[in-house]
Structure 1
Amino acid sequence: MQRSTWRTWSGTVGCAPAQLVRPTGEDEIVQAVRAAAGSGLTVRAAGTGHSFNRLATTPGVLLDLTSYSGVVAVDRAAGEVTVRAGTPIGVLCRELDRQGLALENIGTLAEQTVAGALSTGNHGTGLAHPPLSGQVTRVRLVTADGVARDVGPGDDPDLWGSVRTALGTLGVLTTVTLRCVPAFNLRLRLHSEPLDALLERFTHWAGQSEHPSLNWLPWTDRVSVRSIDRTDEPATPRAPLRRYASTLDEVRCGITGQAGRVGGAGTVPWLTSRVGGLWPDSPYIDTSHRVFTFPQPVRFLAMEHALPLARTADALRALRPVLRRLGAYSPYSVLVRVSAGDDLPLSLAHGRDTGYVNVTVPRTAGQIEILRAAEHVLREYEARPHWGKAHTATAEVLAPRYPRWKDFQRIRTLLDPAGVFSNEYADKVLGPVPATARDRAPAGAAQ
């Protein structure tokens, strides 16, 4: 019998699992994990596939959680919302908005599932805000023994910290409870300035707006700066249409990237300079989730590294000559965002205020060299690669960059001694579950 196949959103990674299960309830997830462990099969969970590496692939049992979606409960008194793991962030935000509530900070991708975003260290931008994991108040997890358990701040601190950024290696998240706030509007302002001038005051710039970001086309010496801040003013007329300016810009990048394959290295800068902006740079106001996110229909490949905030400007200075020497340019700008630090063992922002440098390229072999060159530079600045994006780092490279690495490995060994939730990618970036732990695995666990 022919196996079912599964591919990531970008189409660059796929697998043919022995079983592809699409659960609609927690009991089905429990049964699937128990059956897999009893049969010696590994288990991975997937959402909308917005990771750019082999994070979710497996030759064993793949749980596609996209049908396990929806809001379970909203507790207005506690300021909390509980959602199923496969719920897209945009779906959650729209439901909260109908109830006069919101998440205080999110990334740009509304289609990503809550569990997928949480498991890979997803973040928005703003030095007052840690990654998405900082908004989580408890989770429910099906572990390798086929038991669903609630985990929260009252549990073992290492467990509570580890389970909120775990790459799917501690079990299958079934529900996530997040802190929410009263709905609010945001004002988005855009301006352009010289790159070097901004880098000179980078740490100061990072704190001037609640949600700052910058976009830089490496063949230029200017940056486009976004400043997003809360406001009590009403939404601008036709404001919902403004978010599609970013969507149209991504379409432009996709078309330009295709043209660059034919026209050579100079085509991308030439076309980009002639297309120009697709929307006026005037400020506008809209409800928070529509300002934070925008539809992203064009498939691409992305890499992002998290650096100490104080070293981010130097990393960008070092990146500029390297990208210019390659002889090829991506039509996508380098995106820079920031966040507060936290103390989660595998958090990209562990122990430091953080600058995130994101490099995006079209899905063509000729553009991959841009990612390799950028990674080589960023790694020299204490960078931690985003768990869900393209990179080549191994456990040997990563372990020294995470002060609580051993805390996570203790929890992983405790919850999954047989490596039921391991796969090729997890073994590469975290190392395999120690053999001594597998030897202690209970009877019937996967070997």
Structure 2
Amino acid sequence: MSMTELRNSKTDLFNIASMLTNEELEVRDTVAEFVDRRVRPNIAKWFDEATLPMELIPEMAELGLFGMHIDGYGCGGRSAVEYGIAMQEMEAGDSGLRTVISVQGSLAMTAIAKNGSEEQKQTWLPKMAAGEVIGCFGLTEPTAGSDPSSMTTHAKLVDGEWVLNGSKRWIGLATVAQVAIIWAKVSVADAKAAGVHPDGDTRPDDELVVRGFIVPTETVGFRAEAIEQKMSMRASLQCDIVMDNAHLPVDAILPHNPGLRGPFSCLNEARYGIAWGALGAARDSIEVALEYASTRMQFGKPLTAYQLTQKKLADMTIALNKGQLMALQLGRANNAGTMDLHQISMAKLDNVRVAIEIARECRTILGGNGITGDYSPLRHANNLESVRTYEGTDEVHTLIVGQKLTGQAAFS
């Protein structure tokens, strides 16, 4: 029985597939076939060797996965639900490989699409959609994670050029990217001089505002280095970036949406994709555990014949289906333009922590064999520890939901 058949007949207890359109099912099956053919046979080796398989980049682009939710500029213009389904199928293969699509599309490309000029969009988005240019997104810093307002990276306008200084950490794809979106603090005076300060904004000239910059990674003074000895996300790249007097032309700045709403709009796209993606890892873990338990004989019968194993499988599959229903409802609201920020936080928070619990429980069904690369649940669990932290920790998303409930901001 193929993974696709198993998925449809076993884990979809609530018949969620019947709630999907033909177009959505086509996206599901196309990405699932790619994962079955290109990812599953190789992912244990890539994870063990801490290798990002760059040969998959053009294949992902050919499938239309880069910026698939962006309209125009060579992008797919797919619906939010179609994008979410693609992320679920991709993360069923590996969270790190799903992150490649998220960094490229939800972060770097979305930053340009939402905050860039028409010229910037025309210059970069078609090449990024085609996989000819890889992007990265530099917001997080060594001491500025959950509180990006405390970033110290800054840009100054000197003799008609921007000069960037600072550092970023945990930046996906930075060592293989050709372009980086870097967020830095800029004075209002310099923004005015560059012609990008909003009309009617009366903030004082010496106030610092977060702005985005398009930085070719070949820029002198820009340096990226891969973070090594990771125990999670080993089949992807996370990097440190240092900018030491990196000079950029005046038009390198993203002209729209100054302040944190610029990067946050991108983070929300990534968080939305995670709410779907994490469930792919959870579903794959259940499928693997179910298949293993059906053939693993103990005391004269398969593990699936034991009540405790059935309880584990039943509880996990019910939790999976609930998460999938929440993701689908979130996607429908996204398509309709009615999605609220606290709903993204609810789905990212709960679906990721549920996915981790499922992956860990599935490992117990596999016994000692579950710690090897032959089976996916422990790899998924390790990866999901990173997913749980990035694009907003549990604490941050809990406080977003708490603020919605109480009307009180309790972040500090």
TM-score of the pair, normalised by structure 1 = 0.24
Kindly indicate which of the two structures has a greater share of residues assigned to helix.
Answer: 2
TM-score of the pair, normalised by structure 2 = 0.25
Kindly indicate which of the two structures has a greater share of residues assigned to strand.
Answer: 1
